[in-house]
Amino acid sequence: MRILIATDGSEYSKGALDKCIAFFTHSKATEIKVVSVYENAYATIATEPFMPQPGYSEELIEASRKLAEGFTTSATAFLTERFNGNAPKITSEVLDGIPAQQIVQKAADWNADLIVVASHGRGFWGRMLGSVSDAVVHHAPCSVLVVRDGR
């Protein structure tokens, strides 16, 4: 079974990791890919005196990428430790783009059997503003496990 776990480093995501471990503790045939997505924050075109400093966009993008790398590294270490030496193959990848789109695309490209995502449980207004878990559920090429309130 191929499981794609999306993380944003939150307590909710850690709850999703725990749930994944609980379901798949004894499955050596499982392969897990941990992903974190960051969005490019391109500076908007502005006029003087509101122009961003030269290089600001690049620094912001690099900081976002490093943060996402930290999330995947932390999640991979957490999974490896919790599997107590019985860990399946675990890899990680940092993706650039709109989170829901990138998660769904990676699941399709990687032929995932299951996507595990956390829900922050923001309710109606969170869905109106664009819930990643909601979008993944509606567009995923495979089954999706949404873990609610992972704290």
What are the backbone angles phi and psi of residue 112, rounded to the nearest 5°?
Answer: -65, 145
Q: What is the pLDDT of residue 82?
A: 85
3-state secondary structure the chain: CEEEEECCCCHHHHHHHHHHHHHHCCCCCCEEEEEEEECCCCCCCCCCCCCCCCCHHHHHHHHHHHHHHHHHHHHHHHHHHHCCCCCCEEEEEEEECCHHHHHHHHHHHHCCCEEEEEECCCHHHHHHHCCHHHHHHHHCCCEEEEEECCC
Q: Whats the size of the chain, residue-wise?
A: 151
Check if the beta carbon of residue 69 is closer than 8 Å to that of residue 36. yes
Q: Report yes or no on whether pTM surpasses 0.75.
A: yes
The tens-digit pLDDT sequence of the chain (151 residues) is 899 999 998 888 888 888 888 777 666 678 999 999 998 765 444 555 555 566 667 888 888 999 999 999 999 999 988 887 777 889 999 999 999 999 999 999 999 999 999 887 555 444 444 588 889 999 999 999 998 865 4
**Amino acid at the residue 46:** A
Check if the beta carbon of residue 90 is closer than 8 Å to that of residue 32. yes
Q: What is the pLDDT of residue 149?
A: 66
Q: What is the pLDDT of residue 119?
A: 82
Q: What is the CATH number of domain 2-148?
A: 3.40.50.620
Domain extents for the chain? 2-148
Q: How many CB atoms lie within 10 A of CB 29?
A: 10
Q: What is the pLDDT of residue 129?
A: 43
Q: What is the pLDDT of residue 48?
A: 56
End-to-end CA gap in the chain:
26
Burial (CB count <10 Å: 0-12, 13-18, 19+), residue 31: middle
